[in-house]
Amino acid sequence: MNDSRVHVRTAIEALPAYVPGARIPVGAAAYKVSSNENPYPPLPSVLAVIADAAHDINRYPDMSNSEISHKLADFLNRTASPAALHKGEISAHNIVFGTGSVAVLSHILSAVVDEGDEVVFPWRSFEAYPIVVSVAGGRSVPVPLASHGKIDLQAMRAAVTERTKAVLVCTPNNPTGPAVTHSEVMDFLAHMPRNVLVVLDEAYLEFVRMDDSLDALAALAQYPNVVVLRTFSKAYGLAGLRVGYAVARPRIASAVRAASTPFGVNLIAQHAVVASLDAVHELAERVDALVVERARLLRGLREQGWDVPDSQANFVWLELGERTASIAEQCTSRGLLVRPFAGEGIRVSVGEPEATDLFLELARGWL
């Protein structure tokens, strides 16, 4: 069955593999803190809507995502700052949905990147970045992080050339955790060429608790070359349904929509998004509880003597170098699935308090 005569693009053959977080084997007892998932099950009200929607899965979903687009636009307008709305309200024309924010990002790059164009992003950052850039035909320009896992916006700005078509800013940065400030981003945008698209990737937005936090919608209101990228996977707990979205100026949004997969967001996911936006206050309580648990995890590690980046996401980063693989194996043997990055460190999602207790117990012995 092997036939090597069919040409496969060189860029595709050279793609690095996306490494998902480890899964719990069937029948095993373990804490899964490897995928930055929300550890809480869906709200009863959301589950009820999902169960009811399942009766209609013989029908195609709304290809235009009209209901969720209008619902989300209304939510964004109600919660946005005055600076974000100073040029008018957000409408459905500004919003593009897809199967998770990574799919939306892929459509964004397909819309703006020609063969050989450069895409600048921090590294280490979200490991899908070099993959989606290559699939779009672009050339990755990774920029090293500054100290303590923070994105170096000045270095990223210096990496922009005449061939740059897009810049990706992951904030909070995955897997290290720090977020850039609003002041830093606005200064960055002020010096960015207007023909370079800047994607503000805010997958962990809801977990941010810091002074001068980024107001990405305000940045979009001021700079038409900005796209805001978000997801319902993390704070909303819909990772298994795969729903992400972008907010952009209508011309860019229309181009991204044209590059998107038809019927990409399934029917059940559409209903779950509506139900989740109706229950946003209940979901916010869960997010607040995870932020408290994150603080406990960070405090525990620092009291032990670890130098840990200031995470604003739902995970923490521990730099371990060459010990990474062996320590990850030790965690697995104790029933704790973490996400190792070979030769660099491990990312640990904030989960159940019992998972925090176990991780702190293990970490004490690694110093």
Query: pLDDT tens digits for 184-220?
Result: 999 999 999 999 999 999 999 999 999 999 999 999 9
The 10s digit of each residue's pLDDT in 216-272 is 999 999 999 999 999 999 999 999 999 999 999 999 999 999 999 999 999 999 999
Helices 324-333 and 353-364 meet at what angle, rounded to 10? 130
Other C-beta atoms within 10 Å of 241: how many?
A: 22
Q: Would you give the DSSP letter of residue 181?
A: B
d(CA 188, CA 190): 6
Closest among 237, 239, 217 to 229, alpha carbons compared:
217
pLDDT computed for residue 21 by the predictor: 63
What pLDDT score was predicted for residue 1? 56
Q: Measured between alpha carbons, how far is 49 from 63 in angstroms, rounded to an integer?
A: 20
Burial (CB < 10 A; 0-12, 13-18, 19+), residue 323, is: middle
Which CATH number, 3.40.640.10, 3.40.50.1010, 3.30.479.30, 3.55.30.10, labels domain 44-279? 3.40.640.10
What's the CA gap between 295 and 289, in Å, rounded?
10
Q: Report d(CA 246, CA 45) in Å as an integer.
A: 26
CATH 3.90.1150.10, domain 10-42+281-364, yes or no: yes
Only one residue has tokens 């062996």, namely: 326
Beta strands in 104-243 (DSSP E): 118-123, 139-144, 164-170, 197-201, 226-231
Which pLDDT belongs to residue 28?
47
pLDDT at 68: 98
List the chain residues with pLDDT less than 70: 1-4, 18-29
Cα R_g (the chain), whole angstroms: 20
Structure tokens at 226: 């900005």
The answer to whether 342 and 127 are in contact (CB under 8 A) is no
Query: What are the extents of the domains in the chain?
Result: 10-42+281-364, 44-279
Q: How far apart are CA 237 and CA 14, in angstroms?
A: 33
Q: What is the pTM of this model?
A: 0.94
pLDDT at site 26: 41
Closest-CA residue to 128 (of 96, 97, 105, 145) = 105
* Lookup: tokens for 152: 């170096």
Helix (H, G, I), strand (E, B) or coil at 49: helix
